[in-house]
Amino acid sequence: MSLKGKRIGFGLTGSHCTYDAVMPEIEKLVNLGAEVLPVVSYTVQSTNTRFGDGEDWVKKIEELTGHAVINTIVKAEPLGPKIPLDCMVVAPITGNTMSKFANAMTESPVLMAAKATLRNNKPVVLGISTNDALGLNGVNLMRLMATKNIYFIPFGQDDPVLKPNSMVARMTMLSDTVYAALEDKQIQPVIVEKFRDGQES
């Protein structure tokens, strides 16, 4: 399957430390011929951290995709009925956003875009980055894993010793996961070793 001509929404939420790993994957989708429409949460837009300023990340995303970011719920709603997506990616998706998605809450542009895509029976691909995947958020993770048309970038514990509840997606498998999702398949194995001897697997 080719991604040429596919319209892919790409949502980012507030796991700021993961953006450097995600940007090359956005570029890869564009280079594979997809039209990538960026959608950002309010946190992405407005938060400045040691990993960079929100304004700079938004500018970089717009440069990579050639599209202005979708940054309000109102702007994201047409991704359901008027501008349907072939696939919606949310990477990184934080534990906070994951819990809201699992419980049908729509309080950000990213969640609106994801729910609009599900409404059209199209795949939503999630790349988790949360310190709570094996804690209280585990129930939300499992609920999403059991939901039709939701697929996961393979993920694993990023620091089992110091952060035993934390799990992060292997973002380098993003495009492969999208290919599989477009064929209604969950790429396997979905639980992987995220780091080995301090290095990403």
Q: Tokens 């594979």 correspond to what residue? A: 32
| Paired tokens of 68 | 């202005």
Strands 124-130 and 167-169: antiparallel
DSSP string, 86-148: SEEEEEEE-HHHHHHHHTT---SHHHHHHHHHHHTT--EEEEEEETTTTTTTHHHHHHHHTST
Strands 124-130 and 52-53: unpaired
The helix/strand/coil state of 63 is helix
Question: What is each CA distance from 15 to 31, 69, 107, 119, in whole angstroms?
Answer: 25, 17, 17, 26
| Paired tokens of 101 | 């998605």
What is the chain's pLDDT, residue by residue, as a tens digit (201 residues)?
789 999 999 999 876 678 889 999 999 999 999 999 999 988 766 665 655 666 788 889 999 999 999 999 999 999 988 999 999 999 999 999 999 999 999 999 999 999 999 999 999 999 999 999 999 999 999 999 999 999 999 999 999 999 999 999 999 999 999 999 999 999 999 999 876 544 555
Helix (H) or strand (E) holding 35: strand 35-40
Residues 42 and 46: their CA atoms lie apart, in Å, by 6
Supply the DSSP symbol for 199.
E
Which amino acid belongs to residue 52? Answer: G
